[in-house]
Amino acid sequence: MSEAQPETFDLTSRYEGDDPKIKALWKEIYGVIDPEIGLPLVDLGLIYDVRFDEETKKAHVVMTLTSIGCPAGPYLQTEVYNACKRVEGVEEAQAEIVFSPPWNPREMASEEVQMMLGIF
C-alpha cells in the first residue's frame, strides 16, 4: 500500500544527480511502506538503486528485503513496480530483489528509522 509522498522529501542521501525522472521515481517509491514495520522502504534502506533508460522508457529498481524469507517480499516488489509505473513517461519497470549486500539497518536505514527501531 502506498501513501502520499511528502512535499519535502529529501533524497540527497540516496541520489545526488539531477535527472528529474529519477527524482520522480525516488519520490514515488518513497510512498511504498513496509507493512510489517510501517515505515517507507527508502528510509529503511531497502532501495539500493533507481535507474531509468530514456530510450526504452524502463525504470529499474534494485532493492532488498529485511530477510531472505520475508513474507511481504512479493507484495513489496509489486508495490515498487506499481510506484514506478505511476511516474509519467515510464512505460515499463522492473523491481529486482537482491541480497548482496545483505540489509543492515545500522548502516542502511536513516537516522530517524534507527531511532524508531531502537538502534543506536
Tell me the per-residue pLDDT of 46-64, one tens digit each, with 9 for 90 and over. 999 999 999 999 999 999 9
Is 62 inside any structural domain?
A: yes
Chain centroid, CA 16 distance in Å: 15
In a domain, 115, yes or no: no
**81-118 pLDDT tens trace:** 999 999 999 999 999 999 999 999 999 999 999 998 88
Does 111 reside within a domain?
no
- Please state, in angstroms and as integers, the Cα–Cα distance from residue 119 to each residue in 13, 42, 52, 77, 100, following that order: 19, 17, 33, 26, 22
Q: Which residues contact 52 (CB under 8 A, 6 or more apart)?
A: 19, 21, 22, 25, 58, 59, 60, 90
CATH number where 60 lies: 3.30.300.130
In this model, does residue 10 exceed pLDDT 90? no
**The three three-digit cell numbers of residue 23, written as one number:** 527524482
Write down the mean pLDDT value for the chain.
90
Considering its fold, how many domains does the chain have in total? 1
